[in-house]
Amino acid sequence: MPSSLLWAVDVYGRVYSLSTAGQQWEHCRDAHLEFKRVTAVQQCCWSIACDHNIYLYVHASDVLVRYQEETFENQRWNPVDGFSDRLLPSDRWQWSDVTGLKHQPLGDFQLPSENWEWEADWYVDENFGGEPTEKGGWTYAIDFPATYTKDKKWNSCVRRRRWIRYRRYKAQDTWVKIPSEQTESLPDPFNDITCGSWEITEEPRGCLALWAVSLQGKVWFRCGINHHSPEGSVWEEVPVPGEVVQISCGPGDLVWAVLWEGHLLVREGIGRDCLKGSSWVTVESPSPVVGAVHIAVGVNVVWAVTKDHKVWFRRGVNSHNPCGSGWIGMVGEMVMINVGLNDQVWAIGFEDRAVYFRQGVTASELSGKAWKVVSVPRDSERSHSSASASSLQRLVDFKICTL
């Protein structure tokens, strides 16, 4: 995408986006559902709909989202049949993965969801180590746990060849439901969702962390999200020392959560090899009397909103000290707050429910200087040029926003 987008949901569950190069809120026309929460990164947007299901919106780009499936056909030589699929009991499967440990016949490969399609049928890979093989694509070895070559030798007792098939993700620029095969382990619906951690690792490309909170206060982590698998693979429950009501994940290794009683949790142990971290640390609420209700994290910042709508900034937060060192009270009353790219801050006003932007946020002054209302119309109301600035603020009546 050439520009960044601010995503938002209004009180009627309609999803809007505001481009940094645009002049108005654009309504997502294909959104036939009402949404409760939305969280976004550059390549996609995740949301919770009012039917309690998770939906994904992948932006169309010049780079196709495609995945290569592969399986290996294995054969052994015998003096009667020559090379055939008559393998020894101790051998690998006739159709297997590259290790030979997993049974992978061609017919067992299924599309992950209805959002994918096959590009073509299976075909034999007739290249080996960058060089062409003989017709048929076979490579040879003395035995299966040995080194393969493209040339057949007098002592070649086994052979194998690789079959390839590509699948393409076809559901771009539209909201699609994320299927869940875990109906037994997901007993209650989600009520909050956040994604991030794209700056932690470059491999695999497009790797993301997606966190969700259920109505029972449980925390879940979506595994396997990357460029070749935008939907991810499976939900894993992350144990928490209490009931969580809201969670926030930054571009790096910061993840904070809000407990039901108003205390805060900080996730530790997040890294390249473990995006979901290893443990939780408790941090006190900004106010000793009033608990926190909302948290938002960025690269080096943490912002909080307490039950009395006060806004707080956490000092000293970074990758080496994810808990920070103390709270600073800020001017303004908000109901929600969110941190976008470059630690820029957005919020929803308590009294007017308008979208606010934090001015003066820099690397040397992460807390910024003042709140400025975002006074832009929605696309359906663009023609009403006589509307005053204050009425436009009221029209943008959003309950959550994120970049």
Which of 186-190, 243-247, 346-350, 361-365 comes out lowest in average pLDDT? Answer: 186-190
Residue ranges of domains in the chain: 5-64+173-402, 66-169
pTM: 0.86
Q: Which CATH superfamily is domain 5-64+173-402 in?
A: Kelch-type beta propeller (2.120.10.80)
Long-range (24+ apart) CB contacts under 8 A made by 289-292 are 290/262, 291/261, 291/262, 291/263, 292/258, 292/262, 292/263, 292/264
Q: Does 14 score more than 90 pLDDT?
A: no
Q: Does 390 score more than 80 pLDDT?
A: no
**Per-residue pLDDT band at 353 (split at 50, 70, 90):** confident
> Which residues are 162's β-sheet partners?
72
Q: What local confidence, expressed as pLDDT, does residue 186 receive?
A: 63
pLDDT in tens, 265-306: 999 999 988 999 999 999 999 998 999 999 999 999 999 999
Closest C-alpha among 326, 321, 346 to residue 402: 346
Q: Does 63 score more than 90 pLDDT?
A: no
CA distance 72 to 94: 8
Q: Does 389 score more than 70 pLDDT?
A: no
Helix (H, G, I), strand (E, B) or coil at 25: strand
Q: Does 386 score more than 50 pLDDT?
A: no
pLDDT in tens, 69-105: 999 999 999 999 999 999 999 999 999 999 999 999 9
Helix (H, G, I), strand (E, B) or coil at 297: strand
Q: What local confidence, expressed as pLDDT, does residue 182 receive?
A: 56
pLDDT in tens, 306-340: 999 999 999 999 989 999 999 999 999 999 999 98
Rounded mean pLDDT of the chain? 89
Q: What local confidence, expressed as pLDDT, does residue 131 receive?
A: 92
Q: What is the mean pLDDT of residues 335-355?
A: 91
Q: Does 400 score more than 60 pLDDT?
A: no
Q: Does 242 score more than 80 pLDDT?
A: yes
Which of 337-341, 370-374, 379-383 comes out lowest in average pLDDT? Answer: 379-383
**Could you tell me which residue, 403 or 350, shows the higher pLDDT?**
350
- Cα end-to-end distance, the chain, whole Å: 13
Q: Does 144 score more than 60 pLDDT?
A: yes
Q: What local confidence, expressed as pLDDT, does residue 368 receive?
A: 95
Is 249 in contact with 209 (CB distance < 8 Å)? Answer: yes
